[in-house]
Amino acid sequence: MTSHSLLTDFPSQTYDKLRYGDTDRQGHVNNAVFTTLFETGRIAVLEAGDRPLSEPGYNFVLARITVDYLAEITWPGTVEIGTAVKSVGNSSLTVVQALFQHGRCVATAEAVMVQVDPQARRSVPLSPALREAYNALRLKPAPAR
């Protein structure tokens, strides 16, 4: 999904604290929790402090997500989440993400989010200003390693 293997490769970075309830019978973080961690990263992009990246009255829905599980996540601790915009469509954006624990990439994801009008329940085109803001969060080319 992404050849970026460092958190610093991503323009948006955040973290989430792991909870004991996130673990499964094998003692590692349940695979379903990975998608919740990725959601934390996407929300960090959409609600970025004083510059929310959404149009008033509209919201984003997740249309698709693909996850590659690379290694287990263990409790206790935190997970760092990197998120970048891969592409911007008419009413959607595709983001690439990675989860890191102890500096190691443990999962990657690609997600498509669509801006919708919650009343009409239909997609709504992104404004030029929103397109520009999302294009500023595009993934930079992977450095040679």
Q: What is the pLDDT of residue 52?
A: 67
pLDDT (0 to 100) of residue 140 = 72
CB 82 within 8 A of CB 102: no
Mean pLDDT of 68-94: 96
- In sequence order, what DSSP letters do the residues of the chain get, joined into one string? -----SGGGSSEEEEEE--GGGB-TTSBB-HHHHHHHHHHHHHHHHT-TTS--S-TT-EEEEEEEEEEE-S--BSSSEEEEEEEEEEE-SSEEEEEEEEEETTEEEEEEEEEEEEEETTTTEE-PPPHHHHHHHHTTBPPPPPP-
Q: What are phi and psi of 132, to 5 degrees?
A: -60, -45
Q: Which two tokens stand for residue 20?
A: 């004991």
- Averaged over 95-104, what is the pLDDT? 97
Integer distance in angstroms from the first to the last C-alpha of the chain? 17
Q: Is the dihedral of CA 48, 54, 57, 63 positive or negative?
A: negative
Over residues 38-59, the pLDDT tens digits come to: 999 999 988 876 666 888 899 9
Task: Compare 73 and 141 and report the one with higher pLDDT.
Answer: 73
pLDDT band at 109 (very low <50, low <70, confident <90, very high): very high
Of the ranges 8-22, 60-74, 86-100, 131-145, which one carries the lowest mean pLDDT score?
131-145
Model pTM score: 0.90
Q: So what CATH class is 7-135?
A: alpha beta
Report yes or no: 49 and 110 within 8 Å, Cβ to Cβ: no
Q: What is the mean pLDDT of the chain?
A: 91
CA distance 26 to 3: 29
Tell me the mean pLDDT in the region 16-24: 94
pLDDT at 11: 93
Share of the chain above pLDDT 70, in %: 91
Query: How much is the average pLDDT of 111-131?
Result: 95
